[in-house]
Chain A
Amino acid sequence: MQKTTKLEDLIGFGHTKLGFFGEVQKKVQELQASNRELEQKRQEIQAILDGITDVIVVVTPDYRIQSVNQLFHSVFNVNTAENLLCHKVLRGRNHPCPECPMQKALETNSLNRGLSIIPLNGKNSHFEITASPLRDKNGHPESVLLLMRDVTMEKEYEAKYLYTEKMATIGLLAAGVAHEINNPLAAISGFAEGIKRRMPALDKCLGSSQSCRILADDFHEYIDTILTECNRCREIVKNLLTFSPRKQPEFLAIDINDLIEDIVKLLHHKLKHLPPGTVKLDLDRSIPYVRGISAELKQVILNLILNALDAIKSKGAISIHTRFEKDRWIIISVQDTGCGIPEKNIQHLFEPFFTTKPVGQGIGVGLSTCYNIIHQHDGEINVISQEGKGSTFEVKLPHSCD
């Protein structure tokens, strides 16, 4: 016996039947403690999930959203997503999307990747979606974890890169062709000049009979045609040669605003037939200089304004802006309210020999030359256009460092 029992111990005033209340309280306290612990763990995990820069969605096989991370709300601009249908929330569709990678993940019970274009804020966003099944203890998929990464920017860069590549290839080809044509062209033009110089002597040799005169006139006309066409070819070749890589020429500081005003003056004879105010200038006087070749930049801006005049066909308006963007770019935009450019043509717009004008009114090297000039100035040229409403061409040039 550990301790002698006393009478008081037998009565046990200090002791009552140990009941469940105390036990329950103890259990409740334990549960509360473990609940707090779990809540903390949950918050930690939530913090990790929220820290992930991809959108995370858990979806049940019947397309109901189970849970999402914080990013989901801001990307898709919704307050609550839980229990809603994913295709409804993501695309406003009433039926599952046919390209949904989650279906395949469920079917194969394995990871599945896919690309999806989802319209967000009026713009198409590209999402790379990884669907991985979440399995129950028997290994059957219970729900699907969707990791959605916005790759819109990457896709845009990729497209731009491919376009630049393509243009470089075309440029190389065009320059090669131009070089090859230049030599025979010189010969044709030289010999045609030679024939022209010899025409007075030939005139004398021919008699004054009517048939001889007709023959002489034919010769004069043909040689003039040959020479005119030779000049045209030379112009084309000259333009094409801008595609070929060249040594860094001497760039000078240029005031773009002055340059634009000069061009508008130059076009005075064309503009005076139009209603006043057709061309509106909105120039930011505070923009810094750009570095470049004045003549080339003049050619680009002239080209853009002439295109805009063509587009408005005497009715409508053209406005030319300059501004300074993000401490780096000088933006020149030429906006018209003209016919606009069909969607299918936009992607070919800067390719050489692409034209929508009737035969004889242009051969389609204007914009491709602009593209090359701007790229050689380390700038960019872009177009936004809506058919029937007009187009905006935007030229970005880096500012002069000094």
Chain B
Amino acid sequence: MMNIYKISVPEIFFGRGSLKYAGITARRLGAEKILFVSDSGLEKTGWLDLIFEILERENLKWIKFTTVVPNPRDLDIEEGARLYRQEGCDVVMSLGGGSPMDTAKGIALLTSNGGCIRDYEGANRIQSPLPPMIFLPSTAGGGSDISQFAIITDAKRNIKMSIISRTLVPNISIVDPILLMTNSEGLIITSAIDALAHAIESYVSLLASPLTEVRSLKAIDLILKHLPLALKYRQLDDLENLAIASTSAAIAFSNASLGMEHAIAHSLGGMLDVVHGLIHPILLAPVMRYNLPVCVNKIAKFGEIILGKRLQTDESTAHAGIEKLEKFCASLNVTTRLRDIVSDRETLPLVCQMAMYDSCLLTNPRPATWEQMLQICEEVW
């Protein structure tokens, strides 16, 4: 549809031990006192102390903000912004998965632009530069350390707001796979599936470009290969490959955006506080089937990767690929029925109606009504 592409990425440090650059990069960005955003679970792992030692070596001060909850709400972020101002911080650093990092983005946004999160919902509404952000992803999945998205729950309306802006791309992303060593099996699975969903949806997205497609495909390939190995052996090599996959998928989806599956997932998460990573194994396959008629060759390409070969036609390759994905998910011991994570079937129509407003739906290759989405949800109830 277009022949001009654009891709926004942060400066990325990747590799084992790359954590040690946290201090020097912060100092380079002018830090004196850092607002450090993380969650209580990570505090227990001891990683925070390690990072604080690194910061101390650069004579940096920091203040902790670790009351982050999953699916962060605008109210939590306002509290963080108050802390930032009150303590006179100058750089935001975050260690965590999607929740702490999106919280950190929200805090950076409010401290420099004022107002409340709701004012910035949608695309390109941020007017002033944000304080420097340095993100250290602790999972291989969310990709908030790479993306121009922040997903924050509006506590009043109970919806997940998507804030999209180049300015939300952090200055520095430090991807150190060593951090993944303390991930639980469940966290490794949900993160990897999150990354896989990013890769698949960005690949068929209307905004997919040659710059993003290769990254989507590479991510799919790496996750399918290394997730089972990582679960079985817990070797750093496999975890590192999952980190590469997650980062690649994030580069792809940040610039190509996502699709219907994420629109529904955001809606579910906002209304019912469902953990993001658990929704994908349920919805990915049916959404792919729905999209198949308009992008059969792309889904066939996916099938070729997951099957390791091409079948006779694109169509058969695509179908076989989706079936293989379903088996793959099932093998991971995660639920593939919606009823297991949603308590009330009656809420589904409303969930789908709300999903109509999600900007992810814009880039879905095949247009959809809320009824069509509801039908998909019903299929996997």
Contact = CB atoms under 8 A, between A and B. Distances in A.
Interface of A: 1-3, 5-7, 9-20, 22-23
Contacts of B167: 15, 17-18
Given A5-B122, A10-B363, A18 B207 contact: no
Contacts of A2: 121-122
Contacts of A14: 124
Interface string B251-266: 0000101000000000
Given A13-B6, A18-B128, A18-B130, A6 B166 contact: no
Contact of B207 (A1, A11, A17, A20): A11
A7 B122 contact: no
Contacts of A20: 129
A5 B164 CA distance: 10
Given A1-B357, A18-B128, A23-B129, A9 B123 contact: yes
Contacts of B241: none
A7 B130 contact: no
Interface core residue of A1, A9, A12, A23 (most chain B CB under 10 Å): A12
The dominant DSSP class at the A interface is loop
B23 to A, nearest CB: 20
B359 interface: yes
Contacts of A6: 362
Contacts of B99: none
Chain B's interface size range is 20 to 34
Contact of A10 (B4, B126, B128, B207): B207
B267 interface: no
A346 B127 CA distance: 86
Q: Which 3 A-B pairs have the closest CB atoms?
A: A9-B123, A18-B129, A17-B166
A10 B362 contact: yes
Contacts of A18: 126-130, 166-167
Interface in B242-256: 255
Interface of B: 2, 4, 6, 8, 121-124, 126-130, 148, 164-167, 169, 206-207, 255, 257, 357, 359, 362-363
A47 B24 CA distance: 50
Nearest to B29: A20
A11 B362 CA distance: 12
A30 to B, nearest CB: 14
Contacts of B123: 5, 9-10, 12
A157 to B, nearest CB: 64
Contacts of A17: 8, 166-167, 169
A401 B6 CA distance: 100
A43 B123 CA distance: 49
Contact of A12 (B6, B121, B129, B206): B6
Interface core residue of A1, A5, A12 (most chain B CB under 10 Å): A5
Given A5-B362, A6-B362, A15 B128 contact: no
Nearest to A2: B122
Given A7-B362, A11-B6, A20-B129, 9 more contacts: A2-B122, A5-B164, A7-B207, A10-B207, A12-B165, A12-B166, A15-B166, A15-B167, A23-B128
Contacts of B4: 13
A14 B123 CA distance: 11
A13 B206 CA distance: 16
A226 to B, nearest CB: 109
10 contacts: A1-B121, A1-B122, A7-B363, A9-B122, A10-B359, A10-B362, A11-B255, A12-B6, A12-B124, A19-B129
Contacts of B207: 7, 10-11
B26 to A, nearest CB: 15
B177 to A, nearest CB: 26
A14 B4 CA distance: 13
Nearest to A19: B129
Contacts of B124: 9, 12, 14-15
A3 B353 CA distance: 18
A20 B164 CA distance: 19
Contacts of A15: 124, 165-167
Nearest to A9: B123
B270 to A, nearest CB: 14
Nearest to B2: A11
A9 B165 CA distance: 9
Nearest to B121: A1
Contacts of A1: 121-122, 357
B281 to A, nearest CB: 26
A20 B359 CA distance: 29
A216 B370 CA distance: 166
Nearest to B132: A20
A17 B127 CA distance: 10
A15 B148 CA distance: 12
Given A1-B122, A10-B164, A16-B166, A22 B6 contact: no
Contacts of A7: 206-207, 362-363
A187 B262 CA distance: 143
Nearest to B130: A18
B148 to A, nearest CB: 8
A9 B4 CA distance: 14
Contacts of B166: 12, 15-18
B154 to A, nearest CB: 11
Contacts of B126: 18
Interface core residue of A3, A18, A20, A23 (most chain B CB under 10 Å): A18
Contacts of A12: 6, 8, 123-124, 148, 164-166
A25 to B, nearest CB: 11
Contacts of A5: 122-123, 164, 359, 362
A219 B373 CA distance: 163
Contact of B257 (A10, A13, A22): A10
A23 B130 CA distance: 10
A20 B363 CA distance: 31
Nearest to A18: B129
Contacts of A23: 128-129
A12 B128 CA distance: 16
A5 to B, nearest CB: 5
Contacts of A11: 2, 6, 207, 255
A5 B161 CA distance: 13
A379 to B, nearest CB: 80
B31 to A, nearest CB: 13
A187 B4 CA distance: 137
A368 to B, nearest CB: 84
B356 to A, nearest CB: 11
Contacts of A13: 4, 6
B206 A22 contact: no
A17 to B, nearest CB: 4
A14 to B, nearest CB: 8
A1 B125 CA distance: 12
Contacts of B255: 11
Nearest to A16: B166
